[in-house]
Amino acid sequence: MNGSHGKVDTLGLDYFGRMTASISHEIKNGLAIINENAGLLGDLVALTDKGRPLDPARLETIAENIRRRVQHADDIVRRLNQFAHSVSGPVTTVTLREIVESTVALAHRIAAMKGIAFTFSQDDTIKVETIPFILQNMVWICLKNIFQRHDSDTNLTLDFAFQEIETDVVIVMNFSHEIDTAATKAAISEEGKPIILFLKAQIYNDQTNRTIQLRMPKKFID
Amino acid sequence: MRVLLVDDEEELVATLAERLEMRGITACWVTNHRAALEAVDRERFDIALLDVRLPEMNGLDLKRLIEAKQPTMKFIFLTGHGSEEDFNACSAESGREYYLIKPVQIDVLTAKLHEICAEQGDRQ
């Protein structure tokens, strides 16, 4: 990206910062759980001095909990590494589902905090030529504004579907519950304006069918 | 001493509670604000250990709701971030000494719980 795309760069930095903060929180939680399990092992061993025998099954459970958490932390770090490398990635052909899934995976903790779950409709073959990091950033801006307008007292499922229309591709976001799609679309359009222009994309909303759609050319136009 | 532990990571909070029990501290754990408020309606606690970033409601807002039900209760905030934002918010609420960053060492936590309880006893 060159200087003429400064606003896109700024949004990208903001996105990168937000995601790394969220991921570091997940890693910290994992470390805290490993720390407590290791501490519990120590406590149980210490209790043998007071005559309480060690229960092998209990020890195995704790060891398994530690192994599971280490595996989870490893998955998180791998995701972070992929994300970090994607920032400077070139124009590439990817499936829309890959882009959305990786964005959702990074944002899943934030979504869970708001009581939001994700599902994917079947078509995962539709491809787009794009700069993956920038399109991910656009999907994140959509998610962030949806999160902000969702009342966390109710659970919301956000289903993603993908379409190909003539020379364009579309990411369709279907909501399981009523949300103000017009206000959400307006907020996404405002915040994501530089990226929308960069990707030559358009945003639509349909209140009756509870959808927001992000439509863009399937071939990247520089 | 009776302590209420609130964190959305069930494995963390359950293990921490078990370790506190081993040290003679009665610990009740829950994973969300609703269960925390129900627990406070049901029984009395001396201290609550609250995760700053809970799902649906943050720890600071939960503290205010709990305080309305049990005004003498004391609070320790627990966070994975250790960010300036969290630190300042919690400091304004509880004083810097009641703010702990994950992972917490059990001896540090136990000492802090006893210290707070002793201060409470002195005041009463």
In chain B the domains, ranked by start, together with CATH numbers, are 2-123 (3.40.50.2300)
Q: Work out the average pLDDT over B23-39.
A: 96
Q: Distance between alpha carbon B86 and the CA centroid of its chain, in Å?
A: 15
- Cα distances from B117 to residues A41, A220, B30, B121, B123, in angstroms, run 27, 64, 21, 6, 10
CA distance B94 to B111: 17
Per CB-CB distance under 8 Å, the chain B contacts of A29 are 9, 12, 80, 102
Q: Which residue of A has its CA nearest to B11?
A: A33
This model of the complex carries an ipTM of 0.86
CA distance B63 to B85: 17
Report yes or no: A213 at the B interface, CB cutoff 8 Å. Answer: no
Cβ contact A37–B15 (<8 Å): yes
Cβ contact B102–A112 (<8 Å): no
Max mean pLDDT among A11-15, A72-76, B36-40, B104-108 falls in B36-40
Tens digits of residue pLDDT in A84-104: 988 888 899 999 999 999 999
Tens digits of residue pLDDT in A186-217: 999 999 999 999 999 999 999 999 999 999 99
Q: What is the β-pairing status of strands B2-6 and B26-30? A: parallel
Tokens for A37, please give them: 């399990």
Label residue B87 by pLDDT band (50, 70, 90): low
B28 phi/psi in degrees, rounded to 5: -115, 130
Tens digits of residue pLDDT in A31-69: 999 999 999 999 999 999 989 999 999 999 999 999 999
Q: Work out the average pLDDT over B45-74.
A: 91
pLDDT at A4: 47
Report yes or no: B9 at the A interface, CB cutoff 8 Å. Answer: yes
Cβ contact B22–A43 (<8 Å): yes
Q: Work out the average pLDDT over A98-127.
A: 88
Report yes or no: B100 at the A interface, CB cutoff 8 Å. Answer: no
Q: Which residue ranges form the domains of chain A, and what is each CATH number? A: 3-86 (1.10.287), 92-217 (3.30.565.10)
CA distance A157 to A117: 5
CA distance A2 to A163: 31
CA distance A73 to A16: 19
Contact A180, A149 (CB under 8 A): yes
Contact B15, A36 (CB under 8 A): yes
* Dihedral sign from CA coordinates of A216, A217, A219, A221: negative
CA distance B49 to B76: 5
Tens digits of residue pLDDT in A128-173: 999 999 999 999 999 999 999 887 677 899 999 999 999 999 999 9
pLDDT at B95: 58
Q: Which residue of A has its CA nearest to B15?
A: A36
pLDDT at A86: 87
Q: Considering only residues B92 and A31, tell me which one the structure prediction assigns the higher pLDDT.
A: A31
Interface test with B, best of A36, A59, A71, A151 (most B CBs within 10 A): A36
pLDDT at B97: 54
Interface test with A, best of B5, B9, B11, B108 (most A CBs within 10 A): B11
Q: Is pLDDT of B42 > 90?
A: yes
Q: Which residue of B has its CA nearest to A37?
A: B15
CA distance A217 to B119: 66
